[in-house]
Each structure stands twice: as C-alpha cells, then as structure tokens.
Amino acid sequence: MAGDPLLARARAAWLDLTGVPMAFPAGGGVEVAASAGSRLCPPGWVGIVVLGGAAVVTVPSDGLVGTVRAALRRLPVAELTDAGRLRALLPVAGVLGPASLAYLDEPRFRPASGDVSVVPGAPADVAALLAAVPADDADECGLADVTSPVFVVRRGADVLAAAGYRRWPGRVAHLGVLTRADRRGRGLARAVASAAVVDALTNGLLPQWRARPEPSRRVARALGFRQLGAQLSLALRQE
C-alpha cells in the first residue's frame, strides 16, 4: 500500500493520538512505545492499531515496552488484533475490540439512493433512538458522542435511524450510525450514514468507520469505505 494517500492520512491521524513520536514501520512490523497519555486506548491500557500491514502500539509505562514488544513480534502483523492469540502471549485482564478501521476518499463515495427522507435531527432524536435499542447496540454505535448535526430517518414521530460524526484530531470524522432493531436490513443505515458522510466531506474531513459487527461493515463497504486495518485495546494483569 506504499504511496496510498488514504492510508497515509489515516495513519497520520492515529499517530497524532499516540502522544509520542513514533511511526508505522515502513517495511511492515510493529513499533512499541510508552505513552501515559496515549489516546489509542483507555488510560493504563495497551493500545494496538494496525493499518496497511504495519502497527503502532502504546503501553502505559516504560517497564512494559520490552515485554509487549517481545510478545507481539512473535505474531504476524495481521494477528496483532487477535485477542485469542494475544491471551496466549500476555497476561490479559481485559479486551476492547477488535474493531475494523475503514476510511473513505471522495472519489470512491457511493451515496445512498432512494426515497428516504434524511433531515438534520436534534439531541432528543438521538436519545429516543438510543433508548429503543439494546444497551450493547447503543454503546457500540457511538451516536451519543457525535459533534456534527444528526441526520435521521423518521416515520411520523418515530426516529428509525440516525447518523452523525465526532470530530477527531487530524481532521477525522468518526461516524456513528444506528438503526432500530426492527427496521434493519431496509437501507436506512446507508441513507443516514450517506448524509453524514456528505457533511463530513463538505467540511474537508476524513470519514472513518470503526465497527465490530459484520452488518455495520457491510454498510460501510456499500458506501465505498475501504477497510485498512483494525484496532484493539488490552488491559494487562499486574504480575
């Protein structure tokens, strides 16, 4: 993927979140650095981001750099976000992820079509939709944290689907999309996500889609997003 502008932009955004000078190894592989202020993961955790066949990893203290580096170098880069493989090499106490990381550049964008009405929403719309889905879905979608306008599909007074994005460092638009469970599979997620992507691109932002469930990944692919890697966070036991 050398010379890939989309990959370069995605990598630059994640490097900005590490909190320390580091880089994705040019020839593949993994770089590990200590960063107490890393935003790749929750405070005190290990953050792993794989993009384009190379990885950067932050650990919370200098004392963990050697241990984590030695463990991760025993794995192919493609398996660095495999929680099962990592549990066999490190004293893992908790895991968040893995989540796929997909990005979109404007020439590849395939806007959703159809007669669905998508209009700017309001916080009340988001609250009503979040309350109508299982707690795991509400947590996964990230819709409660968006900073953009919220785009919704309504049927009467009911909000059936909504999307927006949160601005991240590096001019990234981190998408949040949610559809009511009883209305999925009808193209509503594509419609609202398409509207949010249009808004992000208009503002010169890089749309980012982070997802674990395959249905969410399918929506991203349908819009033209390209999966470039994955992210995983680990909590390690003190030994």
Domains and CATH numbers, the chain: 5-100+229-236 (no CATH), 106-223 (3.40.630.30)
What's the pLDDT at 1? Answer: 53
Mean pLDDT of 103-109: 94
pLDDT tens, residue by residue, 37-54:
999 999 999 999 999 999
User: How many Å apart are CA 110 and CA 196, to the nearest integer?
Assistant: 13
Q: Tell me the C-alpha distance between 135 and 148, whole Å.
A: 22
Q: pLDDT digit string (tens) for 118-133?
A: 777 778 888 888 888 8
Q: How would you classify residue 53: left for phi > 0, otherwise alpha for psi between -120 and 50, otherwise beta? A: left
CB-neighbour burial class of residue 97 (10 A; exposed 0-12, middle 13-18, buried 19+): middle
Asked if residues 83 and 235 have their Cβ atoms less than 8 Å apart, the reply is no
Q: How far apart are alpha carbons 7 and 177 in whole angstroms? A: 23
Contact 28, 69 (CB under 8 A): no
Please, which pLDDT band fits residue 2 given cuts at 50, 70 and 90? low
Alpha helix (H) ranges present in 2-158? 5-18, 65-72, 83-87, 123-131, 135-141
| pLDDT for the residue numbered 16 | 95
Model's pTM, two decimal places?
0.91
224: left (phi over 0), alpha (psi -120 to 50) or beta: left
Residues 6+ apart with CB under 8 A from 99: 210, 211, 212, 230, 231, 232
Please tell me the distance from the alpha carbon of residue 212 to that of residue 154, in angstroms, as a whole number.
Answer: 26
pLDDT band of residue 134 (cuts 50, 70, 90) is confident
